[in-house]
Structure formats: C-alpha cells, structure tokens
A and B are shown apart, each in its own frame.
Chain A
Amino acid sequence: MSPMLEIRFHGRGGQGSVVASDILAKAVFLEGKDVQSFPFFGVERRGAPVLAFTRIDDKPIRVKTSIYAPDCVVVLDPSLLKSQDVTAGLKDGGILLVNSDKKPEELGLTFNGTTATVNATEIALKHGLGGKTSPIVNTAILGALAKVTGYVKLDSVAQAITDNAPTKPEANVAAAKEAFDSVVSRRNAA
C-alpha cells in the first residue's frame, strides 16, 4: 500500500475549505512531496456544504478520482456534524479534526479512530480574521491539522500561508500557530 495520504475537508461555501485544502497542498509541496487538491461543490453558493480534498504522496500522484476512504477528515463548521455523515469512508484508525469549542470526548463520537478539536473560531476572531458572524477559520485549522496528523510541518504551513493569504498573513500565521498549540486529540472509546 502506498504511503499516499488522503484528506477530506467539510465546510460551507465561503468559509475557505477550498483555500484550506489548497494551502495544505502548497505547504506539503514545499517539503518536496507531490500534491493534488480539488473541491466538490453541490451547489456553488455561499452557505451550501462544500467538500475539498487533498492527496499527498512521495511519488507522483496519478490517480485522478474522488477520495472515498480518507485518512483524515477536517470539519470547519461544527454544525455540519449534525447534517452530514462526516466520518463516512474514514479509514480505521483515522483522524477527525473538528472546529469546536468542546473537548473531543464531549462530541460523543464512536468511530474507530481519533477525534481532535480546536476552537478555531475563537482563535480566528482573537487574531481579527473575518467578522464575528463569519470568522476565517481555515488557517487556524491547518495549524491544528499539522499537529494532530504530522502530515506537514508547522513551518511549511506558515510559509504557505505567508505566500498565499490574500490579507493579514501575519495574523493568519499566528492563528495557525496558536491552533497548533491548543488542539486536543483523543482516541475514541471502542
């Protein structure tokens, strides 16, 4: 089995899920790996659920299909836990990372794997990213992702954010770093 890693992001249109998968791809690329990242839109409107995918591999990625069995799932909007089966297809032992103010065990999830939570909304607002009603959580989430999965180094994420953030690169990098430090993960009870 190749070491190719597959990540799926769940968000709502306009929250930056696609940008998150994009910056992750660029961060991983800085480390000399091959990357592939793409979105799936149901309806191209703000507020509609959006999926984004990233593939990471040491060798050239030739597969160009959707991702059905991700190693990691990232949820940018906690309300999606109620309306979508975010862990569908998640590999055994996989990781679910959720933007939430709760602790992992408080989410009550029982899938075979690890749940991680980070209050990306609070971190984003603290660093002035987005407005109260629509915080930009994607850079914070990437910092947390780097910590819980180890798929990419925090420095690479920081560099990719600096190179690609349309505004406030320093604040975005600071948010990623704070999320890296504050994310909590816990293996789910069997």
Chain B
Amino acid sequence: MKTYKSYVDLPMSPIADVPSSEESTAGWRTHKPVIDLSKCTKCYLCWKYCPDAAIDTDHEGWPTIRYKHCKGCGICAVECPRTCITMEKEI
C-alpha cells in the first residue's frame, strides 16, 4: 500500500482504485458456513438472505459460499429450512 508523505502527493479526493469485489473480507469472520449438500433442496433461501451476496450457484445449481466475501454472519445457517448449513470455527 502506498504511503503518502505530503498532501501534494494525494489524489484530488479520496478514492479506492480496487473494485470492492477484489477486496477480501474473509479475515472479518471467526466462523465459516459449511453446506451439507446431501440435505439441500435448492430452495435458494440462503442465497436470497445473504446480506453480502456471498453465495453463488455452481453449474448444477447447488449453492456455494464465496468464502472470499463471506463475513461469517451466520444468517444463511439460521434461514436454511433444512438446517443444511453449520457454522464452523476458523482460525
């Protein structure tokens, strides 16, 4: 990351030049969701409820967690009607 020694070196206004999709927020979480696909019925409630849009679907339509952006809030685990999702401690 660039350090700025003087106000002269700063851009005209504060900007981020990295798209937010490139910024990993994986380090924010302490627990990660793990989906047991054997119980999953593809209802997509987990995808719908994820506040960070961190759940994708694979080529067969199974929900997959995009761990790069998952913050471990656990809402998917709570909302899944089949309790397919468990929150596992990381670190």
Chain A interface residues toward B at CB < 8 A = 12, 14, 43, 45-48, 79, 132-134
B69 located at the interface, meaning its Cβ lies under 8 Å from any Cβ of chain A in the complex: no
Residues of A within 8 A of B29 (CB): 46-47
Residues of B within 8 A of A133 (CB): 30-31, 87-89
B25 closest partner in A (C-beta): A45
Question: A72–B29 Cα gap in the complex (Å)?
Answer: 28
Question: A47–B32 Cα gap in the complex (Å)?
Answer: 12
As a 0/1 sequence over residues 61 to 91 of chain B, the CB contacts with chain A under 8 angstroms (1 = contact) are 0000000000110000000000000011101
Residues of B within 8 A of A14 (CB): 30
B28 touches A43 (CB 8 A): yes
| Chain B binding surface, main DSSP class | mixed
For the complex with contacts A46-B30, A134-B89, 20 further pairs of A-B residues with Cβ separation under 8 Å are A12-B30, A14-B30, A43-B28, A45-B71, A46-B28, A46-B29, A46-B72, A47-B27, A47-B29, A47-B30, A47-B71, A47-B72, A48-B28, A79-B91, A132-B89, A133-B30, A133-B31, A133-B87, A133-B89, A134-B30
- Count A-B contacts at CB 8 Å: 25
Residues of A within 8 A of B27 (CB): 47
Chain B count of residues within 8 A CB distance of the other chain? 11
Question: A138–B87 Cα gap in the complex (Å)?
Answer: 23
Question: A14–B71 Cα gap in the complex (Å)?
Answer: 13
Sampled A-B contacts (25; CB under 8 Å)? A12-B30, A14-B30, A43-B28, A45-B28, A45-B71, A46-B28, A46-B29, A46-B30, A46-B72, A47-B27, A47-B28, A47-B29, A47-B30, A47-B71, A47-B72, A48-B28, A79-B91, A132-B89, A133-B30, A133-B31, A133-B87, A133-B88, A133-B89, A134-B30, A134-B89
Question: A133–B72 Cα gap in the complex (Å)?
Answer: 13
Question: A153–B16 Cα gap in the complex (Å)?
Answer: 49
Nearest Cβ distance between residue B29 and chain A, in whole angstroms?
5
A48 closest partner in B (C-beta): B28
Question: A12–B28 Cα gap in the complex (Å)?
Answer: 9
Question: A46–B71 Cα gap in the complex (Å)?
Answer: 9
Nearest Cβ distance between residue A12 and chain B, in whole angstroms?
7
Nearest Cβ distance between residue B25 and chain A, in whole angstroms?
9
Residues of A within 8 A of B30 (CB): 12, 14, 46-47, 133-134
As a 0/1 sequence over residues 11 to 46 of chain B, the CB contacts with chain A under 8 angstroms (1 = contact) are 000000000000000011111000000000000000
Greatest chain B CB density within 10 A among A14, A45, A47, A79 is at: A47
B74 closest partner in A (C-beta): A46
Question: A99–B88 Cα gap in the complex (Å)?
Answer: 21
Residues of B within 8 A of A43 (CB): 28
